[in-house]
Structure 1
């Protein structure tokens, strides 16, 4: 234990390593080259008795009646008592530059009290964008992501059988009008805004074309002008730009998932000189009731006598451990691991170091 403590006391800051080069297309999006979200409301049929109950989901009954009327079948409300139909919301993403006739994936989720979509088929469902226009039509067999088994007294569910997907289940019917060939400039939007990364993108583009085409507008935007290139195809220019390699920069972050006990850290995280002490207090309570009953053929009644055992134990701590200044978080975690600190305790220590102002990073707790 003393050896481990000594190792923690004399942490040495590692040599800063340069980030690996990354393509611009993996760091940013190009203005205009984006998808659009689609949504629709439809019916799933062919379920094995796991559909909506019409008493609890009257909208399913109304939609089924409307569907049958459009198909030339007149029915009354009393005739609609099927448990093989479910009302669903259908969502999809229309890719950029999608053309009429191309296929896209769709996701299907129940909105009523249906128990499972296994074996169901989505009936023709129009998908609309935010402007209210129909851009695709979805239909096909659903691949559900779970299983459900029920009996008279119990029910077992694995996964989420009330949601599923239809690979290439929608056909694009309308195109988003965008003439990319007439673009005079384009904006590069960084997914993680950072001035250093933005200026490196600007320098890489200007150096590759040997012209001042790119200008950093702010920490998340770089504007590229095409006018100085003469008569060129903007698509070819963007294809050349998106494959340029740069070394990205980002803010130091520590992400903690307290429920799972997971810690994710960036390489830029640093810790100032700080002393750490950790110990544990364990309270253990157990119940062992005893039953007292009279002898055979004797008068009396059976009595349960409670017996409670409580134990309070102070676990030995690691004492005060001083962390050298400018140490990396990985060094601290390695030292705490060597001392046998459990993940939950390590999370508490990191939160305390951050509260003390010695953890130089954004602490994100989920």
Structure 2
């Protein structure tokens, strides 16, 4: 016998129940809104960039160079000496088309000889602009005094400077700093410690024991027995010595999600600009705030007093002063214990405080013991 025919309601009911069940499961699933990847919380020790610096000469400038500065002349003599040209003693060539510069660059981790890096070129003398110049071959040194890269190439300058004979000038952006994309060639690799050692260390960007413990637990959940905490910053990892296996495990560790600890309560105050930043961990103990402003106005109205006719008196100036005081009436804001950031901001806005007033109020709350946060003045 053929199977019985199902009604439309009976056919759609199982699908509807399945959709509702799936929605319920998604709704009840724990949401990890604050989870961050390990690669955003720290980095492996030794896997970092290194700074390089060098001293060189930019040539080909349209009269905007250093002219007769002594160190530019010495640099040009050194460059010409490398080319087999020796300048006679006592000769100081005019070098308006050349400028002495400092070259800076970052050598990335695992950079190998032959790879290219970007370099930044900045003037150190009286040169007005580097537009149109070319950097002569210059060695770049590391902190140990060794040469790690060579730089050379045409500069890309985003600024522009124009001068007139009457002394007026117009400057757009910064014409004394240029950049050479892939202008440096790596000549020496830096050892990162990745290849050897039984333990590889991973360091937090910000010291926090709770975050370090959570990182350890998250790694051990994924790779049991791998991580141990050394201090508030460092987590030691026992990884295989084989470079291929170690790199695979490091890649997996960097993508592990961790809930970092809540940041300490902190208030940042910039005393120069009046900028105040309050993070979400700031709380207040019970306190009342009243902030007013007293204005005193003094007006001087001198009056000239003339003597009576045919008298022997003389004209005098009589001072008349008017003093007026005005005090703004402000309401009192009451904070209950544990007031949050939004409550603090709303109440201070009702008081109509300015940034400078806000700094004074926060300092007073800190002195009163009602502000449970660290005050950092920059």
Q: TM-score, normalised by structure 1?
A: 0.80
Q: 2:116 aligns with which of 85, 97, 103?
A: 103
Higher relative contact order (CA 8 A, sep 6+): 1
Displacement after TM superposition at 1:61 (Å): 0.6
Q: Does the Cα contact within 8 Å between 1:181 and 1:233 map onto a contact in 2?
A: no
User: How do 1:143-292 and structure 2 match up within 5 A?
Assistant: 143-151=156-164, 152-178=166-192, 180-209=194-223, 211-226=224-239, 233-249=245-261, 250-281=263-294
Q: Does the Cα contact within 8 Å between 2:67 and 2:97 map onto a contact in 1?
A: no
Q: 1:356 aligns with which of 357, 368, 371?
A: 368
Change (3 A) 1:315 1:43: farther
Partner of 2:337: 325
Deviates more, 1:73-82 or 1:100-109: 73-82
Q: Does the Cα contact within 8 Å between 1:283 and 1:310 map onto a contact in 2?
A: no
SS at structure 2 position matched to 1:332: helix
Q: Does the Cα contact within 8 Å between 1:275 and 1:320 map onto a contact in 2?
A: yes
Displacement after TM superposition at 1:157 (Å): 3.0
Partner of 2:137: 124
Distance between the aligned counterparts of 1:131 and 1:194, measured in 2?
32
Distance between the aligned counterparts of 1:164 and 1:71, measured in 2?
25
After superposition, what is the alpha-carbon deviation per residue over 1:236-273, rounded to whole angstroms, capped at 9, x for unaligned? 11111111111112222222223333222322111222
Distance between the aligned counterparts of 2:175 and 2:93, measured in 1?
24
Root mean square deviation, CA, Å: 2.8
Distance between the aligned counterparts of 2:94 and 2:298, measured in 1?
55
After superposition, what is the alpha-carbon deviation per residue over 1:301-351, rounded to whole angstroms, capped at 9, x for unaligned? xxxxxxxx9987645152432212111233212322243322232233223
Q: 1:64 aligns with which of 64, 70, 76?
A: 76
Query: What are structure 2's unaligned runs of at least 5 residues?
Result: 1-30, 301-320
Distance between the aligned counterparts of 1:333 and 1:186, measured in 2?
45
Change (3 A) 1:330 1:347: farther
Q: Does the Cα contact within 8 Å between 1:23 and 1:246 map onto a contact in 2?
A: yes
Displacement after TM superposition at 1:204 (Å): 0.2
Change (3 A) 1:111 1:311: farther
Distance between the aligned counterparts of 1:110 and 1:232, measured in 2?
44
Distance between the aligned counterparts of 2:159 and 2:363, measured in 1?
38
Partner of 1:112: 125
Displacement after TM superposition at 1:169 (Å): 1.6
Displacement after TM superposition at 1:141 (Å): 2.0
Greater C-alpha radius of gyration: 2
Change (3 A) 1:140 1:218: same
Partner of 1:36: 50
Distance between the aligned counterparts of 2:298 and 2:49, measured in 1?
57
Distance between the aligned counterparts of 2:47 and 2:346, measured in 1?
44
SS at structure 1 position matched to 2:342: helix
Query: What are structure 1's unaligned runs of at least 5 residues?
Result: 1-16, 288-308
Change (3 A) 1:223 1:285: farther
Number of residue pairs aligned between Structure 1 and Structure 2: 325
Distance between the aligned counterparts of 2:130 and 2:322, measured in 1?
51
SS at structure 2 position matched to 1:143: coil
Q: TM-score, normalised by structure 2?
A: 0.78
Distance between the aligned counterparts of 2:227 and 2:98, measured in 1?
56
Displacement after TM superposition at 1:150 (Å): 2.4
Deviates more, 1:44-53 or 1:277-286: 277-286
Is 2:351 the counterpart of 1:316?
no
Distance between the aligned counterparts of 1:18 and 1:270, measured in 2?
24
Partner of 1:91: 104
Distance between the aligned counterparts of 1:42 and 1:126, measured in 2?
8
Distance between the aligned counterparts of 1:74 and 1:262, measured in 2?
58
